[in-house]
């Protein structure tokens, strides 16, 4: 309460700064910085032949399994683009450093990238607590902070953080889409919530509560990601006789939830957010955890029938043009990693970055990239369009409901889109999915 | 006299560091702030381990206490910076007192165990009381901007480097004087022979507790500085790894010497960045490059312990000191009161041919 006047002042200053930026961007494009046919070193990190971008990623430590595949996959896509003419003749050099998912290390590596390596932008910095540690710094240094790898609603704050843009389906929208499905298909059933007790889980619950009638929710169980003993929470879900358990959990805790339910012979219908259901990761974790406890399970069988959602085409869709394209690039540039949801994610977000760079013009300043995204981006690999505008910095706006069958997510029904407000309806998306360009590179 | 000499040295160092901070770029200034805050933490730890002969694998937890104190004071009460830093050290000292009282009864591995528990358990309080401490997300630290008279373009990282270096110099002067005072001599007596010290009339328990309080106060100050330079305090910054890094820094630099604390801080801050730069510029795959700093850290640790059992400062002293024939080196070591050994290093020296 005490802080509100100061906050407001900060907001005003930030808004003024944003206006100044827009003015500067307009001024510079008037001078032809966005056009022309020769390349110039138009901004920090941009030379005649190179675009240098940076990122903080959990390459070691607790969050590394799975997530450490994302940056190499994005880099594989950039290499593909580099070998096919680059972005306006410039190669993208992607310098991603390990922060071990430790916020104070995030601060160190991002300081290094911005102040020492002079990167043009920070791209796809991974994690909510980690990226929150640097979002203020990046905005005060006016470094484009694009396509954060986290669905926290906090990146959508254009007045305070004009440089920051989300990308993936945010957790509130995801909660609403899952909630609307549950409301329709499990009417009158007893519903239990299981969620990570932080911004991720709480945003998800916020979205669920906008759709599911409160009278149907029989219990709400939060867990701390640092405490792996979730037996009390599962026992409480069982005691409340929940028939459907909705889970906003990371893969390790989805696996624990499944195993402990099995042990307590509790078998509700599981509905799990896309964050916690990559089938390859999940099946592997289940088998590893069971082995530690001295048991053998078939991971793929245990996750059969879990309801989830997705905002990128499913890895198992053989005929999808995006899957075909990314698989081809994966085979040439990133063959060591398995082709799973994390690799798909990395390539799709890298594609979006190339879209934004092409739109920013031949010789872009940092402000040109921000204003290019503010003017909106055409729909890419995602199944729904982006929300980007000068007043909305959220990314993908919708997804589909799917069921895990034989180790892949099988989409059911149509793509649903919505907004982050309590009143905004969840509606079927009328537009079509886009087809991947034959060249594999977005057209300017 | 000693006080004046230490003050003089600190002033000369302050001028050099000030000039250095202007010559370096913004990122090097940030690293300077990091090194300085580790000097504070490791300086306190080296007094505890090297002078009083106790061990702590929990000083990262005291850093967390200081950091959260600073964040809460800045957020709710908006105290001036110097008062916040003093309060962070004081609150951490109180925590150190509580642990010290328990620790005074414990020895060796049992003491290490208790402090290890502290390092593991304390940061998780932040997720238990989310309302106060902000959970995993932590608390934002309202950064103090450089004062107006320095000009509007004064880089923030240089200001942070100045704050941290000033705190480090003040801490070093205080610790250096403490080490040479009656208390410092009593700590050495207790470390070298507890029963003899007690027979000589020293209050062993009080001295041991005091050492804990001093090292916790330093850790608390360092934690507050960490919060200010990173503009965030969160449990993820104060894991057991941090506590072990502090101990490693103290051992690498040379236990019990304040110059050793400086060497140790330089290593734990600069080696990972340098090695990552080298690894990535040589086109190693990122999976390999990401793990190389950890490996390099291990190699440096092994190399220093094998080659210079009394740390880098010990090696520097041996290089600068008068040439002593190998056979008489040990003798001269025991005569020079300046040389400080942890029990472990003494063993390894005895084992050397």
Report yes or no: B270 at the A interface, CB cutoff 8 Å: no
Contact A436, A381 (CB under 8 A): yes
Plot region of A94 (φ>0 → left; ψ -120 to 50 → alpha; else → beta):
beta
- The dihedrals phi and psi of A225, each to the nearest 5 degrees, come to -65, -15
Q: Is A196 helix (H, G, I), strand (E, B) or coil?
A: strand
Helix intervals (H) in A264-365: 279-292, 299-302, 321-333, 341-359
Contact A195, A273 (CB under 8 A): no
**Residue-wise pLDDT tens digits, A366-382:** 999 999 999 999 998 99
Nearest neighbour of B230 by CB, restricted to A97, A101, A133: A133
> Number of residue pairs across A and B with CB atoms under 8 Å?
96
B291 neighbourhood in chain A, CB within 8 Å:
59-60
pLDDT of residue A16: 47
> Average pLDDT of A198-203?
88
Return the residue of A nearest to B131 by Cα: A198
**Residue-wise pLDDT tens digits, B2-24:** 778 888 888 888 888 888 887 88
Considering only residues B320 and A354, tell me which one the structure prediction assigns the higher pLDDT. Answer: A354
Beta bridge partners of A146: A123
pLDDT > 90 in chain A, percent: 58
Q: How far is CA A192 from the centre of its chain?
A: 25
Return the residue of A nearest to B77 by Cα: A2
The 8-class DSSP code of residue B205 comes to H
Beta bridge partners of A386: A396
Burial A85-110 (b: 16+ CB within 10 A, else e): ebbbebbbbbbbbbbbbbbbbbbbbb
pLDDT of residue B286: 63
The 8-class DSSP code of residue B135 comes to G
**Residue-wise pLDDT tens digits, B154-209:** 778 888 888 899 999 999 999 998 988 999 999 999 888 888 988 988 888 888 88
Indicate the number of domains in chain B.
1
Q: Is the Cβ pair A198, B234 closer than 8 Å?
A: no
Q: Is the Cβ pair A111, B287 closer than 8 Å?
A: no
pLDDT of residue B288: 72
Res A313 pLDDT > 50: yes
**Residue-wise pLDDT tens digits, B338-349:** 444 444 444 433
Helix intervals (H) in A133-230: 135-140, 171-185, 199-211
pLDDT of residue A427: 87
A226 neighbourhood in chain B, CB within 8 Å:
124, 127, 136, 235
Mean pLDDT of chain A: 87
pLDDT of residue A275: 87
Interface test with B, best of A56, A111, A342 (most B CBs within 10 A): A111
- Restricting to A residues 73-112, those with a Cβ less than 8 Å away from any Cβ of B are 75, 95-98, 101-104, 107-108, 111-112
Among candidates B86, B72, B70, which has minimal Cα distance to B229?
A: B70
Q: Using the Cα atoms of residue A314, residue A320, residue A323 and residue A327 in order, give the sign of their dihedral.
A: positive
Return the residue of A nearest to B237 by Cα: A104
**Residue-wise pLDDT tens digits, B50-104:** 888 888 888 899 999 999 999 999 888 888 888 899 999 999 999 999 888 887 7
CA angle A404, A219, A408 (to 5 degrees): 5
A112 neighbourhood in chain B, CB within 8 Å:
27, 273
pLDDT of residue B333: 37
Return d(Cα A394, Cα A382) in angstroms, integer: 14
pLDDT of residue B346: 40
> Average pLDDT of A328-351?
90
Contact B18, B150 (CB under 8 A): no
Q: Is the Cβ pair A133, B27 closer than 8 Å?
A: no
> Average pLDDT of A272-287?
88
pLDDT > 70 in chain A, percent: 92
Res A3 pLDDT > 50: no
ipTM of the complex in this document: 0.73
CB-count burial class (<10 Å; 0-12, 13-18, 19+) for B102 = middle
pLDDT > 90 in chain B, percent: 18
Beta bridge partners of A222: A195
The half-sphere exposure of A157 on its side-chain side, counting CA atoms within 13 A, is: 14
- Confidence tier at A21 by pLDDT (50, 70, 90): very low
Parent domain of B46 = 2-351
Beta bridge partners of B146: none
CA angle B311, B317, B320 (to 5 degrees): 145
Return d(Cα A104, Cα A134) in angstroms, integer: 9
Q: Is the Cβ pair B237, A59 closer than 8 Å?
A: no
**Residue-wise pLDDT tens digits, A235-260:** 999 999 999 999 999 888 999 999 99
pLDDT of residue A166: 94
Considering only residues A334 and B335, tell me which one the structure prediction assigns the higher pLDDT. Answer: A334
Q: Which of A6-10, A264-268, B328-332 has the weakest average pLDDT?
A: B328-332
Contact B66, B91 (CB under 8 A): yes
Q: Is the Cβ pair B231, A133 closer than 8 Å?
A: yes
Q: Which of A132-146, A253-267, A416-430, B294-308 has the weakest average pLDDT?
A: B294-308
Report yes or no: B153 at the A interface, CB cutoff 8 Å: no
pLDDT of residue B157: 84
Query: pTM for the whole thing?
Result: 0.79
Res A121 pLDDT > 90: yes
**Residue-wise pLDDT tens digits, A76-106:** 999 999 999 999 999 999 999 988 888 888 9
Return d(Cα B133, Cα B139) in angstroms, integer: 6
- The dihedrals phi and psi of A413, each to the nearest 5 degrees, come to 75, -175
Return d(Cα A14, Cα A276) in angstroms, integer: 35
Return the residue of B nearest to A112 by Cα: B27
Nearest neighbour of B291 by CB, restricted to A60, A116, A226: A60
Q: Is the Cβ pair A115, B30 closer than 8 Å?
A: yes
> Average pLDDT of A118-136?
92
Report yes or no: A38 at the B interface, CB cutoff 8 Å: no
pLDDT of residue A36: 62
Q: Is the Cβ pair B273, A102 closer than 8 Å?
A: no
B124 neighbourhood in chain A, CB within 8 Å:
224, 226-227
Res A352 pLDDT > 90: yes
A195 neighbourhood in chain B, CB within 8 Å:
none
pLDDT of residue A209: 94
Q: Is the Cβ pair A129, B226 closer than 8 Å?
A: no
Report yes or no: B234 at the A interface, CB cutoff 8 Å: yes
- Number of Cβ within 10 Å of residue B51's Cβ equals 26
Return d(Cα B327, Cα A382) in angstroms, integer: 74
Res B337 pLDDT > 70: no
**Residue-wise pLDDT tens digits, B133-146:** 877 777 878 776 77
Report yes or no: B72 at the A interface, CB cutoff 8 Å: no
> Average pLDDT of A421-426?
87
CA dihedral angle for residue A152, residue A155, residue A160, residue A161, rounded to 10 degrees: 150
Q: Is A27 helix (H, G, I), strand (E, B) or coil?
A: helix
Report yes or no: B273 at the A interface, CB cutoff 8 Å: yes
**Residue-wise pLDDT tens digits, A27-64:** 343 333 445 678 888 889 999 999 999 999 998 877 78
Nearest neighbour of B26 by CB, restricted to A107, A115, A129: A115
| Strand bridging mode A307-310 / A398-405 | antiparallel
Return d(Cα A22, Cα B152) in angstroms, integer: 23
A5 neighbourhood in chain B, CB within 8 Å:
none
Return d(Cα B123, Cα A411) in angstroms, integer: 42
Return the residue of A nearest to B236 by Cα: A102
Considering only CA atoms, give the Rg of chain A: 22
pLDDT of residue A104: 81
Report yes or no: B239 at the A interface, CB cutoff 8 Å: yes
Res B336 pLDDT > 60: no
Looking at the structure, give the CATH architecture of the domain made up of residues A172-310: 3-Layer(aba) Sandwich (3.40)
Res B34 pLDDT > 60: yes
> Average pLDDT of B252-269?
87
pLDDT of residue B194: 85
**Residue-wise pLDDT tens digits, A150-181:** 999 889 999 999 999 999 999 999 999 999 99
Q: Is the Cβ pair A132, B287 closer than 8 Å?
A: no
pLDDT of residue B351: 35
- Confidence tier at B287 by pLDDT (50, 70, 90): low
Considering only residues B78 and A437, tell me which one the structure prediction assigns the higher pLDDT. Answer: A437
How far, in Å, are A50, A70, A80, A185, A287 from residue A76 at the CA level?
Answer: 16, 10, 6, 40, 30
- Restricting to A residues 172-201, those with a Cβ less than 8 Å away from any Cβ of B are 197-199
Plot region of B256 (φ>0 → left; ψ -120 to 50 → alpha; else → beta):
left
Q: CATH 3.40.50.2300 occupies which residues in chain A?
A: 4-169+316-397, 172-310
Indicate the fold that domain A4-169+316-397 takes in CATH: Rossmann fold (3.40.50)
Interface test with B, best of A104, A106, A155 (most B CBs within 10 A): A104
- Number of Cβ within 10 Å of residue B112's Cβ equals 17
Nearest neighbour of A129 by CB, restricted to B136, B287, B293: B136
- Confidence tier at A22 by pLDDT (50, 70, 90): very low
Return d(Cα B164, Cα B85) in angstroms, integer: 10
Nearest Cα of chain B lies from the Cα of A78 at a distance, in angstroms, of 15
């Amino acid at each position: 309460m005490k802080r509100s006047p100061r906050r407001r002042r900060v907001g005003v200053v930030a808004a003024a700064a944003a206006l100044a930026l827009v003015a500067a961007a307009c001024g510079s494009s008037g001078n032809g910085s966005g056009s022309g046919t020769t390349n110039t070193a138009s901004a920090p990190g941009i030379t005649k032949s190179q675009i240098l971008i940076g990122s903080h990623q959990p390459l070691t430590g607790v969050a590394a399994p799975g997530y450490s595949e994302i940056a190499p996959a994005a880099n594989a896509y950039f290499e593909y683009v580099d070998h096919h003419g680059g972005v306006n003749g410039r190669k993208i050099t992607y310098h991603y450093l390990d922060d071990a998912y430790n916020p104070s290390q995030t601060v160190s590596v991002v300081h290094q990238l911005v102040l020492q390596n002079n990167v043009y932008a920070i791209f796809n910095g991974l994690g909510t607590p980690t990226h929150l540690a640097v979002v203020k710094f990046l905005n005060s240094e006016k470094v484009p902070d694009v396509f954060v790898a986290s669905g926290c609603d906090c990146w959508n704050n254009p007045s305070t953080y004009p440089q920051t843009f989300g990308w993936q389906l945010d957790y509130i929208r995801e909660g609403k889409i899952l909630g609307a499905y549950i409301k329709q298909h499990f009417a009158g059933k007893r519903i239990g919530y299981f969620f990570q007790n932080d911004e991720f889980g709480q945003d998800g619950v916020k979205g669920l509560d906008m759709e599911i009638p409160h009278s149907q929710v029989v219990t709400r169980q939060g867990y701390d990601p640092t405490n792996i003993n979730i037996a009390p929470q599962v026992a409480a879900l069982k005691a409340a006789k929940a028939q459907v358990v909705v889970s906003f959990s990371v893969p390790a805790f989805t696996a624990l939830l499944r195993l402990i339910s099995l042990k307590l012979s509790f078998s509700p219908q599981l509905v799990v957010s896309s964050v916690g259901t990559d089938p390859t990761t999940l099946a592997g974790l289940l088998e590893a955890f069971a082995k530690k406890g001295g048991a053998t399970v078939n991971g793929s069988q245990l996750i059969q029938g879990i309801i989830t959602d997705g905002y990128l085409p499913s890895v198992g869709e053989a005929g999808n043009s995006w899957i075909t394209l990314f698989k081809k690039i994966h085979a040439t540039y990133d063959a060591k990693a398995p082709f799973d949801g994390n690799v798909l994610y990395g390539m799709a977000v890298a594609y979006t970055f190339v879209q934004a760079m092409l739109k920013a013009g031949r010789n872009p300043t940092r402000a040109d990239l921000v204003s290019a995204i503010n003017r909106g981006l055409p729909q890419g690999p995602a199944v729904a369009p982006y929300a980007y505008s000068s007043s909305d910095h959220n990314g993908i706006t919708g997804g589909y409901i799917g069921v895990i069958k034989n180790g892949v997510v099988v989409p059911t029904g149509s793509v649903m889109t919505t907004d982050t407000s309590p009143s905004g309806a969840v509606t079927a998306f009328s537009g079509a999915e886009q087809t991947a360009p034959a060249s594999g590179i977005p057209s300017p | 006299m000693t006080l004046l000499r230490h003050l003089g040295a600190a002033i000369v160092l302050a001028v050099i560091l000030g000039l250095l901070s202007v010559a370096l770029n913004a990122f090097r200034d940030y690293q300077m702030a990091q090194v300085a805050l580790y000097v504070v933490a490791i300086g306190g730890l080296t007094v505890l381990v090297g002078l009083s002969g106790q061990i702590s694998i929990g000083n990262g937890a005291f850093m967390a206490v200081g950091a959260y104190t600073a964040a809460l004071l800045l957020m709710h009460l908006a105290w001036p910076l110097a008062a916040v830093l003093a309060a962070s050290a004081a609150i951490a000292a109180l925590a150190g007192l509580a642990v010290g009282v328990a620790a005074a009864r414990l020895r060796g591995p049992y003491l290490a165990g208790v402090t290890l528990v502290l390092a593991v358990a304390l940061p998780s309080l932040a997720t238990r009381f989310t309302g106060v401490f902000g959970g995993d997300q932590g608390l934002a630290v309202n950064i103090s901007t450089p004062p107006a008279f320095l000009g509007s373009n004064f880089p923030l990282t240089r200001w942070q480097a100045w704050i941290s270096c000033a705190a480090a110099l003040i801490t070093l002067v205080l610790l250096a004087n403490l080490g040479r005072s009656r208390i410092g001599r009593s700590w050495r007596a207790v470390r070298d022979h507890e029963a003899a010290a007690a027979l000589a009339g020293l209050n062993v328990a009080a001295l041991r507790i005091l050492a804990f309080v001093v090292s916790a106060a330093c850790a608390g100050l360092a934690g507050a500085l960490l919060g200010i330079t990173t503009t965030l305090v969160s449990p993820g910054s104060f894991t057991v790894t941090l506590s072990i890094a502090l101990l490693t820094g103290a051992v690498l630099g040379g236990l019990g010497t304040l110059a050793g604390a400086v060497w140790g801080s330089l290593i734990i801050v600069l080696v990972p960045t340098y090695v990552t730069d080298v690894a990535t510029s040589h086109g190693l795959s990122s999976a390999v490059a990401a793990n190389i700093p950890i490996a390099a850290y291990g190699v440096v640790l092994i190399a220093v312990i094998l080659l210079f059992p009394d740390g880098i400062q010990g090696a520097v002293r041996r290089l600068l000191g008068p040439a002593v024939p190998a056979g008489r080196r040990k003798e001269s070591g025991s005569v020079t009161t300046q040389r400080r050994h942890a029990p472990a290093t003494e063993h390894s020296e005895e084992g050397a041919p």
